[in-house]
């Protein structure tokens, strides 16, 4: 059974987490209110798809599935891992 990681915040850090999970065979759900989140994550993933395979002598598993969610609750439902990557605004 494929595991799911929920990423809360799809900026640079969240995008990096999403790429690592996705390219290691996990399904990934992302919640981010930024209307540009899908584009930004797409750019991070494109870079990761080019570079991550070169970091290991072992072939990567089949890529997981990526899904953007309208809410945090939707993103975390059924997730085995939840990664919070939102900006700290104190």
Which range of residues forms the domain containing residue 68? Answer: 4-84
Q: Which value, in Å, is the radius of gyration of the alpha carbons in the chain?
A: 13
CATH of residue 79's domain is: 3.40.50.720
Rounded Cα distance, 18 and 27, in Å:
9
Give per-10-residue mean pLDDT for the chain (90 aa): 94 95 98 95 96 90 97 98 87
**26 neighbors 14 (Cβ within 8 angstroms):** no
**Token digits of residue 11:** 């900026």
For residue 11, give the 3-state DSSP assignment. Answer: coil
**Residue 89, in any domain of the structure:** no
pTM for the model stands at 0.92
- As for how many domains the chain has, the answer is 1
**Residue 90, in any domain of the structure:** no
**Residue 67, in any domain of the structure:** yes
**Partner residues linked to 81 by β-bridges:** 5
**Residue 50, in any domain of the structure:** yes
């Amino acid at each position: 059974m494929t595991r799911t990681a929920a990423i809360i915040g799809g900026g640079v850090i969240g995008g990096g987490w999403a790429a690592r999970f996705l390219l290691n065979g996990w399904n990934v759900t992302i919640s981010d209110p930024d209307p540009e989140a899908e584009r930004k994550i797409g750019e991070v993933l494109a870079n990761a798809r080019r570079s991550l395979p070169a970091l290991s002598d072992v072939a990567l598993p089949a890529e997981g599935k990526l899904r953007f969610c309208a809410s945090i609750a939707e993103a975390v439902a059924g997730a085995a891992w939840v990664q919070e990557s939102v900006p700290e605004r104190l």
